[in-house]
Structure 1
Amino acid sequence: MTVKFNFRMLLIAGLCLALVAGVLLFTAKEKYSPGTFHVNYSPDYAVSGDVAGLVHNSDYVVFGHYEKFIENWDMGENHLSEVYSFAVDESLLGDAKGKINVSIPHTVLLKHTLYDVDYEAALNLPNYSKPDFEKTYVLFLKKAQTKDVFGPSSVPFQVEVDSAGNVALKVNTENKELALKTKQSGTIHFQTEQIELARIDKITGLTKEGLFAEIKAQVAAKAGSK
C-alpha cells in the first residue's frame, strides 16, 4: 500500500507541476504576444477654415513675407517649433508692424512604453507648412506666452498668396503618421490629428482682393461687437 501511495503522490505532483508550467508558459505568451497599439495626438485648439473664424480667434492679422529662418525653439512638453523673421507689409488687425518673429509649430514627439521598451515618433503638427520665401502670406496670430514671438491663433493660420493673387489655406500634409514594429513583432501606430481641410476650407480659391475684403469686414464686425 505504501508503494502505491507514493506512486500516486508522485503522479499527482507531476501533474501539478505540468499544470503550473503550462500556466506560466501561457501567461508569458499572453504578456509578450504581438499586437497592434495606437498612439494618437489630438490637442485642444481652435480649428477654422473661414475668414470669420480665423479673425475671431486672432489678436493680429498681418500681410507680408517671410525673410529667413531664425532658430528651432523647444516649446516644452515634447513640442518643437521653427522661428522665422517676417516682414509686415500691411497690418489688418492689431499693431504688429515692421519685422516680427513668427513661430511655426513643427513637430511633436510621441512616446509609448511597451514591456519596458520605449518607442518614439517625431511627427509634424497640423499647422506646419514650410514657408516659401518667394511668396507672400496672410497670417492669423496671437502673441506667445513664454517667448517674444507671434504664433498661430488657430489651425490653420497661414494663407499663401502667389504672384497671380491666388490664395491657398495651408496645413501640414506630410509626416502625419508612423508605424513602428515592436520587439514582439507587434505594431505601434503613431498619428497626429488629421485636419480635413477640404471639408472646412472656405478660403482657397479666393483672390487676394476678395480675401482682404472679407478680412476687413470681419475685423470691423469684431471691433463693433466689443
Structure 2
Amino acid sequence: MPKLVFVIITCFLTAGLPLTARLQEKKPEAKSFPMFTASYSLQMPGGDMKTRFGINSTIGGSFIYKHKTGLLFDLSSHYLFGTALKEEASSILDGIKDSDGHIINEHGEFAKVVLSERGFFAGARLGYVIPVLKDNPNSGIIISGGGGLLQHKIRIENDGNNAPQILHDYKKGYDKLTNGFCLTEFVGFVYFGKQHLVNFYAGFEFYQGFTQSRRSYDFNLMGPDLQKRRDYLSGFKVGWIIPVYQRAPDPFYTN
C-alpha cells in the first residue's frame, strides 16, 4: 500500500513538469537596428513642374537606422521617370520640325524621336515612429522630414542617333536640365513582422524643390533660362524592408 501511494504522488508531481518547462514568450520591446529598403511611388507634380510634366513614378532604395526610442535616420536615393509630358515639354523640338511636324535625319528620312521625363532625388531624413500596436512596439505611424537634391530633365531619345540637330551638345540646348535643393516629408505606417518575413511601409510623400536650369543656353528661349523655379511633387509610396537584427526581436527562454 505505501508503495502504491508513492507511485500516485510521483505521477501527480511529474505531470506538471511540461507546464513549467514549456517556452515562455518574452514581452515585446522596442529595439535599435539598421535596415535596407526598396520602394516604388506614384507622384503628381505641382508648382512650376506641373507645366512641364504629368504623373510620374519613382523606384529607389534607402538605408535607415531605427533607434529603440523610435528615432529614425534615413539616407535614400530615388530614380524618377515618366512619359506624361505637358505642352512646355512636348513642344521643345517644334523649332526644328518641318511643316508636317517631323524632324528630318541625316538620311533625309523622318527621325524617330521619343521624349520622356527623367530625374532623381538623393537626400537624408530624420523621423520618428509612433508605436500604436500593443504587441509590436517597433511598428507604428512614421513621420519624417529632410532635404536633398532634386533633378529632372526631358530625355530626348533618337532611334539610330541619326538626327544631328538633337545629338551631343545640341541636345543639351533642349533637355531643360534642372536641379536644386529640395525639402521632403513623409507620413505613413511602418510594420515589422515578428517572424522577420513581412516588413513594409506605406504612406504619403511630399517634395518642395527650389530649382533652376543648369544649361547655359536654351534654344527655345534663345538664351539662358534664369527662372527661379518651385517644383513640387506629392504621391503615395510603398516600400519593402529588409531589417538587419543583431538578435531575434522576440527571444524565447526556458525554465
Is the pair's TM-score, using the shorter chain for normalization, greater than 0.5? Answer: no
